[in-house]
């Protein structure tokens, strides 16, 4: 008897049809990878299995306990709004108030804002200590159990979220793009953990890129525009990939390519005069006596294109938060921005942000999904998250519309972000970062969750946008193939220190 059975199932997400006539079953002992392009319905399929979306037609049956691990590392969904804004990730005093990893895994989290610890009585944890030890050992989290969870790196947080589901001992484990944003070591830890779970009898169903299918997988389901294109055993899929690797690569439906875009109008807009985008001198950031950044020196000239690399937890996001004026310890450090000391005498945080276009996984995660495409792009003029109170002038409206057209989202200007694919959402947020024509563009893992075709498209757009010597680029990625061709300088961090600069 199958663990999971779809019979002619169709699903609507909000008022939009997403999945169409799916017939598919998962039997005991099988491990499945779901692949397909952005917007093909992979995440919706997992969410439907998890019970988050009802079937519009057809029949869905499942046996056993199901756990769903989402494709983000949304702190507020774990800790009941313990981190409502992504900047809190950098606030040292918030870390002292945040639940520890142990409290998250055992659901022993006190309500946010608790003043008197003794006033809160929590139910006894239902997670046996032996099970907690087993899972944290499997995911190499044992040494982090008593650490505040908002101080974890991306990779550590992903493993914590997986552990939170595994301590419940599910029969079916659903994983939505679990390798996204992970460094080489974290990806290997996850692959080994999944292999062990499969040996123990857990059924794994994961949505992932075609290039990130773990060895424990036995079958592949390929989706295209909400329909099942193919269902094949893994060995057959591997053989097809070897014979014709392009056959398993999703295509890009957008009608324009970045290399063909006409960006001269944007580059021709007035730019501030400066010799160096920034000059960081002995930057040091310390939490509880531990140096997250340890005497980092980095000088970037106007027009240079840099890749910032390093493993999870190496300090990349913290370093970028100094540049974007989001870090509370920025005032304790010595640096220049655009040839001015810490942004210049009397310069506010908004003066600094006005010269920087920024896109990051945290921004994408916390950006209000009910915001329309037009408002999302326009909010970049004021560094807001979809909400602004100033009326746009005709020139600003024209710039929003022109960028939307060039990036292939001009036909969906009044559609909420939540109704777009992740690839389209990233292009909208790129337009938001560009709308004020910033001299410095910071793209922090901008291709997270994009399929191969969308990554190539995104890179070509970045190459076109940064073709001018007037624009400086900082680009962060764990994958060499995601770095645009315009990048020719590299800085690598490890444990908060610069280990390579060329």
Domain boundary, last residue among 195, 218, 247: 247
The DSSP line for 185-202 is: HHHHHHHHHHHHHHHTT-
Examine the fold and report which residue of 199, 225, 247 is the final residue of a domain before the chain moves on: 247
**Domain identity same for 221 and 270:** no
CB atoms closer than 10 angstroms to residue 287: 15
pLDDT of residue 394: 92
CB 447 within 8 A of CB 467: no
From residue 249, alpha-carbon distances to 55, 169, 256, 257, 379 in Å are 29, 34, 18, 17, 34
Report pLDDT for 254: 44
DSSP-based three-state secondary structure for 489: strand
pLDDT at 97: 61
The verdict on 287 and 229 lying in the same domain is no
18, part of any domain: no
Q: Considering its fold, how many domains does the chain have in total?
A: 2
SS3 readout for 370-415: CCEHHHHHHHHHHCCCCCCCCCCCHHHHHHHHHHHHHCCCHHHCCC
Q: Are 181 and 274 in a shared domain?
A: no
Asked whether residue 44 is domain-assigned, the answer is no
- The pair of three-digit structure tokens given for residue 136, joined into one six-digit string: 């944290």
Are 114 and 103 in contact by the 8 Å Cβ rule? The answer is: no
One domain for residues 398 and 472:
yes
Rounded CA-CA distance 315/151 in Å is 11
Choose the final residue of a domain: 247, 272, 306: 247
CB atoms within 10 A of CB 92: 15
Helix (H, G, I), strand (E, B) or coil at 496: coil
494 part of a folded domain: yes
Give the model's pLDDT for residue 31. 98
Q: Is 62 part of any domain?
A: no
Residue 96 lies in a domain: yes
Sign of the Cα pseudo-torsion (122, 126, 130, 133, in order): negative
Structural domain includes residue 26: no
Do 128 and 263 fall within a single domain?
Answer: no
Residues 233, 267, single domain; the answer is no
Q: Report yes or no: 72 and 365 within 8 Å, Cβ to Cβ.
A: yes
Instruction: Note down the domain range covering 109.
Output: 67-113+121-247
Give strand pairing partners of 497: 494
CA dihedral over 412, 414, 420, 426, signed as positive or negative: positive
Structure tokens at 165: 């589901």
Judge if 158 and 270 occupy the same domain.
Answer: no
Q: Is 457 helix (H, G, I), strand (E, B) or coil?
A: helix
Do 395 and 301 have their domain in common? yes
> Residue 244 half-sphere exposure, CB side, CA atoms within 13 Å?
6
- Which pLDDT does position 352 carry in this prediction? 81
Residues in the chain, total: 502
CA nearest 431: which of 394, 385, 399, 392? Answer: 399
Alpha-carbon distances, residue 6 vs 2, 9, 49, 55, 57 (angstroms):
10, 6, 9, 10, 11
Where residue 404 sits, what CATH number does that domain have?
Answer: 3.40.50.300
Phi-psi region of 235 (alpha: psi -120 to 50; beta: other; left: phi over 0): alpha
Could you tell me if 438 and 311 lie in one domain? Answer: yes
Specify whether 228 is located in the same domain as 278. no
Sequential pLDDT tens for the chain (502 residues):
899 999 999 999 888 899 999 999 999 999 999 999 888 999 999 999 999 999 999 999 999 999 999 876 554 455 444 443 333 444 544 555 677 899 889 987 766 555 555 666 777 788 899 999 999 999 999 999 988 887 777 778 888 889 999 999 999 999 999 988 888 888 999 999 999 999 999 999 999 988 899 999 999 999 999 999 999 999 998 887 654 444 444 444 444 445 445 666 676 677 788 899 999 999 999 877 788 899 999 999 999 999 999 998 899 988 998 998 877 788 888 899 998 887 555 567 777 888 999 998 878 877 888 899 999 999 999 887 766 667 899 999 999 999 998 888 899 999 999 888 777 888 899 999 999 989 999 999 988 877 787 788 888 888 888 888 889 999 999 989 899 999 999 999 999 999 999 9
pLDDT of res. 92: 47
pLDDT of residue 461: 86
Residues 262 and 216 in one domain: no
pTM, two decimals, is 0.82
Gap between the Cα atoms of 43 and 66, Å rounded: 15
pLDDT for 124 equals: 78
- Please give the helix or strand (H or E) that residue 448 lies within, else none: none
Does 395 map to a domain?
A: yes
Residue 274 lies in a domain: yes
List the one residue out of 461, 452, 453 whose CA is nearest residue 429.
461
Identify the CA nearest to 45 among candidates 24, 76, 73: 24
Distance (Å, rounded) from C-alpha 65 to C-alpha 16? 29
Kindly state whether residues 332 and 479 are assigned to the same domain: yes
Task: Write down the pLDDT at residue 79.
Answer: 46
């Amino acid at each position: 008897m199958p663990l999971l059975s779809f019979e002619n199932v169709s699903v609507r997400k909000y008022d939009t049809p997403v999945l169409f006539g799916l017939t598919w079953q998962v039997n005991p002992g099988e491990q499945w990878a779901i692949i397909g392009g952005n917007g093909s319905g992979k995440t919706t399929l997992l969410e439907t299995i998890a019970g988050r979306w009802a079937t519009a037609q057809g029949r869905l049956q499942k046996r056993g306990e199901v756990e769903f691990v989402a494709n983000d590392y949304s702190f507020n969904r774990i800790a009941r709004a313990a981190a409502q804004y992504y900047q809190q990730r950098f606030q040292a005093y918030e870390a002292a108030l945040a639940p520890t990893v142990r409290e998250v895994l055992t659901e022993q989290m006190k309500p946010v804002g608790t003043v008197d610890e003794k006033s809160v009585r929590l139910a006894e944890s239902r997670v046996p200590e032996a099970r907690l030890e087993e899972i944290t050992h499997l995911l190499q989290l044992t040494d982090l159990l008593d650490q505040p969870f908002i101080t974890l790196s991306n990779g550590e947080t992903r493993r914590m979220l997986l552990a939170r589901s595994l301590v419940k001992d599910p029969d079916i484990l659903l994983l939505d793009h679990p390798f996204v944003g992970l460094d080489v070591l974290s990806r290997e830890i996850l692959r080994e953990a999944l292999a062990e779970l499969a040996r123990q009898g857990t059924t794994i169903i994961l949505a992932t890129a075609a290039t990130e299918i773990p060895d424990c997988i036995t079958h592949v389901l390929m989706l295209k525009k909400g329909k099942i294109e193919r269902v094949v055993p893994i060995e057959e899929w591997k053989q097809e990939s070897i014979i014709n690797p392009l056959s398993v690569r999703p295509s890009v439906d957008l009608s324009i390519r970045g290399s063909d875009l006409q960006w001269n109008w944007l580059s021709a807009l007035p730019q501030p005069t400066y010799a160096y985008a920034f000059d960081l001198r002995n930057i040091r950031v310390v939490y509880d006596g531990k140096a997250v950044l340890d005497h980092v020196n980095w000088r970037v000239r106007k027009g240079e294109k840099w890749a910032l690399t390093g493993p999870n937890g190496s300090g990349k996001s913290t370093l970028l938060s100094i540049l974007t004026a989001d870090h509370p310890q920025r005032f304790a450090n010595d640096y220049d921005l655009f040839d001015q000391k810490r942004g210049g005498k009397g310069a506010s945080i908004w003066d600094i942000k006005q010269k920087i276009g920024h896109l990051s996984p945290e921004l994408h995660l916390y950006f209000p999904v009910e915001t329309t495409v037009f408002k999302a792009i326009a909010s970049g003029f004021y560094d807001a998250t979809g909400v602004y109170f100033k009326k746009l002038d005709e020139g600003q409206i024209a710039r929003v519309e022109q960028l939307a057209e060039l990036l292939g989202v001009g036909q969906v200007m009044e559609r909420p972000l939540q109704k777009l694919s992740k690839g389209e959402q990233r292009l909208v947020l790129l337009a938001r970062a560009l709308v004020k024509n910033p001299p410095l563009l910071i793209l922090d893992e901008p291709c997270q969750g994009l399929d191969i075709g969308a990554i190539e498209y995104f890179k070509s757009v970045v190459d076109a946008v940064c073709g001018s010597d007037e624009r400086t680029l900082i680009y962060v990625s764990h994958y060499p193939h995601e770095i645009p061709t315009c990048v020719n300088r590299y800085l690598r961090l490890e444990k908060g220190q610069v280990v390579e600069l060329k």
